Structure 1
Amino acid sequence: MPQLTGIHHIKFPVSDLEASRAWYEKVFGFEVTIEFPDEQGVVRGLAGTAAGLGEVGLALRENPAVAAGIRGFDPVSFGIPDRAAAEEWAAHLDGLGIEHSPVIDATIGWILVFHDPDGTEIHLYSFAAHGIDQSGRKGYGRTTIRA
């Protein structure tokens, strides 16, 4: 099997590049380092960094049809340390006036759910496990074992 070395970047399709840029800046501290203009010189994409993502880049690409197509879907879960971090994020989002779920006991750890301006679902999922067996709950995952 050829080697993978990690995740290079995460790209979100958006319908309004400037509105999404402002939202990702205030929510995640998104810092734009590269712009992608089209053939007419109109910027249709942005790439940069966000606090806590380390070497993984964050990108936004203007594509209204695709943004509408993934409305309500969660293409990525950003990692957070634990339940306390989920509570801190909830307070951060409250301060920004962004609606979000309560902190949820998910399949393995804690999760906080909210949406970007296009309705793309954003998950903040803890690396710390809560130890609750959710395998019997509808809609929750269950472990599998390979023989």
Structure 2
Amino acid sequence: MPFPPLNHVAVTVRDLEISGPWYRRLFDAEPILDEHTDAGFRHLVWMLEGHTVFGIHQHDRRAPDETFSELRVGLDHVGFGCSSRADLAKWVTRLDELGVEHGGIVDAPYGAGLSFRDPDGIALELFAPPG
């Protein structure tokens, strides 16, 4: 039996009042869901191209006073797929327009990536296959 494709990603943010508008600008879209659950968190959820769901959660319990680190066990980064390196170049321009710091396009034999961070320092990457 084949393993199913990735359906959704949800990351915890410190403050939806900061991260919500940031992701709205990044995605250039409104969330499809804005809900405070009985499970003790509020989340905003977007449906991205290809039917991947991406959510940001703020839990009712205060987050520890620490910043995100990909060196801790858990999430390293979230990667979003682009069809080509040319698309990554367009994203460089878009991130610059949004005032989002990034590391520029980095080429490797397996593809090219453009890394940046959200307001909580969560590592995000736009990635294109080689060619």
Structure with the larger strand share? 2
Relative to structure 1, the CA distance from residue 8 to residue 18 in structure 2 (aligned partners, 3 Å threshold; closer, same or farther) is: same
Relative to structure 1, the CA distance from residue 12 to residue 113 in structure 2 (aligned partners, 3 Å threshold; closer, same or farther) is: same
1:45–1:62 contact (8 Å) kept in structure 2: yes
Bigger CA radius of gyration: 1
Secondary structure in 2 matching 1:23: helix
Measure, in 2, the Cα distance between the counterparts of 1:66 and 1:58.
Answer: 24
Which runs of no fewer than 5 residues in structure 2 stay unpaired? none
1:8–1:56 contact (8 Å) kept in structure 2: yes
Which runs of no fewer than 5 residues in structure 1 stay unpaired? 131-147
Q: Which residue of 1 aligns with 2:8?
A: 9
1:88 CA displacement = 0.4
Measure, in 1, the Cα distance between the counterparts of 2:77 and 2:66.
Answer: 11
The count of residues paired between Structure 1 and Structure 2 equals 125
Secondary structure in 2 matching 1:111: strand
1:12 CA displacement = 1.3
1:67 CA displacement = 7.7
Q: TM-score, normalised by structure 1?
A: 0.72
Whether 2:89 is the aligned partner of 1:93: answer: no
TM-superposition CA deviations, 1:95-135 (whole Å, max 9, x none): 111111111113511110100000011111112x15xxxxx
1:13–1:66 contact (8 Å) kept in structure 2: no
2:70–2:77 contact (8 Å) kept in structure 1: no
Relative to structure 1, the CA distance from residue 66 to residue 28 in structure 2 (aligned partners, 3 Å threshold; closer, same or farther) is: farther
Q: TM-score, normalised by structure 2?
A: 0.79
